[in-house]
Chain A
């Protein structure tokens, strides 16, 4: 009598989950049904990624997709399917690099949608990252990711196309709990001097829109060595007036301080009058580390150098956040 390995899904998953990776791959050699089962395991289990990054280089009409896998088994599945999906794309428009944790795919923008549907639909990532995306690619991603549940999202808007509104709508679709966004790097703005004011305004509006959508916002800023910045203080205050309840202001240059001493004091006063519990994490000048106003205090989290401290304010019934 012939043995039929087509089991109920629950039993199949159990048997195959007991196998170490090399044996699991050999099950593809057994018969067509086991090959199908192994290949479909990817769909059943939704291969878990640490990160799924989409990076666009508009000038070269290229998209880079980076998959960082959780473990070696998922990486093996990823490899199998990366090959399978790439057969639909002419070799000259597609390249694939693999190391022991990730797969990097570079393809022409025209093939992005094909690849996204064929391959990426099988994957689920902890962190979604979108860098420099044009409007067309955001549009494609909006259709594809609509309804998907992602907890963490990382964004770096493209200053050339400045499609902030579209990007905010996209984040609205994703509804993540946490967004990390690279605000417009100021050094890069020297390339767009005429548009500088408009770009800053648009990017700050974008941050405010995000603050209306997500409860946890991380803003990564690249700053020149200026200390006093009332615009930044105003931005922080506006963000804290919105849905966002945890704000992390991070800086590429760790030695920079975000706000002056007087800005920090102003911010303390401001937070003091908010009704909702808010948490702010940012850098302040070192000499003010013992600052405390009213019900607010700050706790030293980590000392980077003697000039700056990473600090945390908290409104929690007058207690310092521990």
Chain B
């Protein structure tokens, strides 16, 4: 089994099975560019730096990829059919502990950076599910977002939205 080492922004090393990394478009490109698939190349001696992903987030990403090993990888950037996407129970349980906080958002940003299409889609769907049927102030409270608006600005936005609905 070929292992490739990923290095997070905080210098943590993660040896990962080569097969798993096929889910990440970004890492796949790096592997090709660095010739890590060549028999003559010592892949273990050439770690892949990921300066935009912190260790704890990368650990979660790898955990997700391990569970989804062998899943078909989406190609292209076609828009998902929103109505058909359901977050499977395992993924829902996986996202839940970090939901309503920065960690889930960081995981989503990492999925986008690493170009892991399925993770990005499910993570975004899970976030959007938390917004459904709620008002701005309710979402603010749940996600711990500070209120940046003055009462006058809030009123103006509310009126604009009312007028549009």
Contacts and interface: CB of A to CB of B under 8 A. Distances in A.
B144 A3 contact: yes
B63 interface: no
A3 B147 CA distance: 11
B89 interface: no
Interface residues of B, number: 44
Given A15-B124, A15-B127, A79-B164, A26 B134 contact: yes
A261 interface: no
Interface of B is mostly: helix
Interface string B139-164: 11001111111000010011011011
Given A14-B124, A22-B165, A23-B131, A29 B109 contact: no
What size tier do the contact residues of chain A reach? 20 to 34
Contacts of B82: 17-18
A29 B149 CA distance: 9
B137 interface: yes
Interface string A71-97: 000001001100100000000000000
A8 B164 contact: no
B145 A2 contact: yes
A113 B165 CA distance: 29
B133 interface: yes
Nearest to A25: B161
Interface of A: 1-5, 7-8, 10-11, 14-20, 22-23, 25-32, 35, 76, 79-80, 83
Given A22-B165, A29-B149, 4 more contacts: A1-B102, A3-B144, A8-B113, A29-B157
